[in-house]
Structure 1
């Protein structure tokens, strides 16, 4: 037997889950598995805090902030620091690319950015948020958003400009 809260949350998840997965995929530079985990963590946190979410002045900002916090929490896990990265994963099936997806070159370049720089770029340029909304989502000052964005763009230009095979944007 579902109550009204469960029905509201179900409607929210049905309407917003796909957009949350897209945002999480961008924040993780294309790591679909981590993106799914982040969305699940975010939805769990939202369910627990559903009354606070409903009272929020900016529900979209609340969701973005919760998603960024989930990413930050994930990056702090002890086992994450002990994993070894590999240049190529063996026997990996190629993921189908939907129209409008990021090019492989941009995805690789984004992956090399620190998570906060990547998040600043995603919110500013992929979601066209202004500096204030991005600062709110990241929990930092507007000046930090501006500097992180400028540095991230400089790094992307350097990487994409120095390797023509990556510059297929």
Structure 2
């Protein structure tokens, strides 16, 4: 790699690594160390082909997705013990609700299978259309739809408290009275 390409690669890593790390951590079920490993491997592959890559971020994301797919296809997945990290509070703000939501979501995502987690990350965090997710995962659009549906149902079953913690809960009325009403004419 020549000096110009090295500088271009360093700039890319400095500018985009935090966003790519978020995706990698989500793909790995909230395990920051596994996400860092996933991203590091993707960046190593990108560095080797840097002069041939037209869209670096798209290339690195594609490598992340494919590596994650390869991981959940392993016969014996390698698991590391992860430890919870306390959330960093914002200065002067009560972030306990947001921190609780993140912890509940991280725990629920970690209990999904790698395939379910990957489908949800691609569809909702990366906001990719079903056809693109199907292309990345090498399956049909119908498979992506059913996997998304089943993954969301499993996520709701694993963490029913997410409904009470999310922003939509604050907008919903506390309770509705569906008792019969007398109508006078």
TM-score by length of 2: 0.70
Partner residue of 1:63 out of 60, 64, 70: 60
Conservation of the 8 A alpha-carbon contact between 2:105 and 2:162? no
Q: Is residue 108 of structure 1 aligned with residue 99 of structure 2?
A: no
Instruction: Quote the Cα distance in structure 2 between the aligned partners of 1:15 and 1:84.
Output: 29
Q: Trace 1:100-139 onto structure 2 (pairs within 5 A).
A: 103-139=102-138
Instruction: Quote the Cα distance in structure 2 between the aligned partners of 1:97 and 1:73.
Output: 33
Unpaired segments of 5 or more residues in structure 2?
Answer: 90-94, 167-185
**Residue-by-residue CA offset, 1:96-115 (whole Å, 9 max, x unaligned):** 25776752112111111111
Could you say which residue in structure 1 is the equivalent of 2:26?
26
Q: Is residue 95 of structure 1 aligned with residue 86 of structure 2?
A: yes
127-136 vs 6-15, which moves further: 127-136
Task: Report the CA distance shift for 1:145/1:123 in structure 2 as closer, same or farther (over 3 A).
Answer: same
Instruction: Quote the Cα distance in structure 1 between the aligned partners of 2:126 and 2:148.
Output: 14
Task: Report the CA distance shift for 1:79/1:147 in structure 2 as closer, same or farther (over 3 A).
Answer: closer
Task: Report the CA distance shift for 1:138/1:15 in structure 2 as closer, same or farther (over 3 A).
Answer: farther
Q: Trace 1:9-48 onto structure 2 (pairs within 5 A).
A: 9-48=9-48
Instruction: Quote the Cα distance in structure 1 between the aligned partners of 2:28 and 2:121.
Output: 10
Conservation of the 8 A alpha-carbon contact between 1:29 and 1:107? yes
Instruction: Quote the Cα distance in structure 2 between the aligned partners of 1:153 and 1:128.
Output: 15
Q: CA RMSD in A?
A: 3.0
Q: Is residue 168 of structure 1 aligned with residue 165 of structure 2?
A: yes
Ranked by relative contact order (alpha carbons within 8 Å, sequence separation 6 or more), the top structure is 1
Unpaired segments of 5 or more residues in structure 1?
Answer: none
